[in-house]
Structure 1
């Protein structure tokens, strides 16, 4: 079984969090927290900063570990390390997704989330509530 290890940025601004809609692949049209695979020799923080720059041209600070999710998809096992982050500028550029936007905590549950991200959303809402 293939194992994929990724990092995800929970970039908070006031009462909202930055989310991205997948453009292609198995989960096209579904929502996720931006991030990506950890490259050899990278720390989680380095991987997050690199991925968010690549995807959104947005520098971030990685502030605090939030949670790790282990999720079994039919064709692979995912380990996702999630971190609370802060955007270091107000503007970003969508370079890889169908849509990227800040969504209020009140509206997070209404999005069609990638399966592994559902538990992250639930925990984020519980801790914010």
Structure 2
């Protein structure tokens, strides 16, 4: 199980990061997050992972979507929450690059298949 953050800034932009080239899904963009530890809540996982990966503090808000996705060799459950950027300047501590993008710009970036549903959910959320 994975906790995933859609981090919004005050201008309504979303933080995405580019995975390192080596390894699975290398070079693709994604919403930051990570594995939920045993006994850990989704919210606690997201806060911890964002601090570790980007060096910033976020407030974890409402759930956007939960996605079950099967890749060729493994299965993931993504627990995706809206988050608000509280403090700190995001650093690419565990990825190649980070970028603040608008929802209109997000479709220009290549994402892993499981993330496509997150983007669709964001478009629905924005138009509601």
The TM-score range, normalised by the shorter chain, is: over 0.9
Residue 89 (structure 2) pairs with residue 91 (structure 1)? yes
The whole-number CA distance in structure 2 between the counterparts of 1:90 and 1:42 is 24
The whole-number CA distance in structure 2 between the counterparts of 1:54 and 1:99 is 15
Residue 3 (structure 2) pairs with residue 7 (structure 1)? yes
| Equivalent residue pairs, number | 125
The whole-number CA distance in structure 1 between the counterparts of 2:122 and 2:88 is 22
Residue 21 (structure 2) pairs with residue 21 (structure 1)? no
Please list every run of 5 or more consecutive structure 1 residues that lacks an aligned counterpart in the other structure. Answer: none
Normalised TM-score (structure 1): 0.93
The corresponding residue for 2:118 is 120
CA displacement at 1:15 relative to structure 2: 2.6
Please list every run of 5 or more consecutive structure 2 residues that lacks an aligned counterpart in the other structure. Answer: none
The corresponding residue for 1:81 is 79
CA displacement at 1:90 relative to structure 2: 5.0
Partner deviation per Cα, 1:49-85 (whole Å, 9 max, x = no partner) = 1000000011111011111001010001110000000
Runs of 4+ in 1 over 2 A off after TM superposition: none
CA displacement at 1:16 relative to structure 2: 1.3
CA displacement at 1:126 relative to structure 2: 2.0
The whole-number CA distance in structure 2 between the counterparts of 1:92 and 1:72 is 30
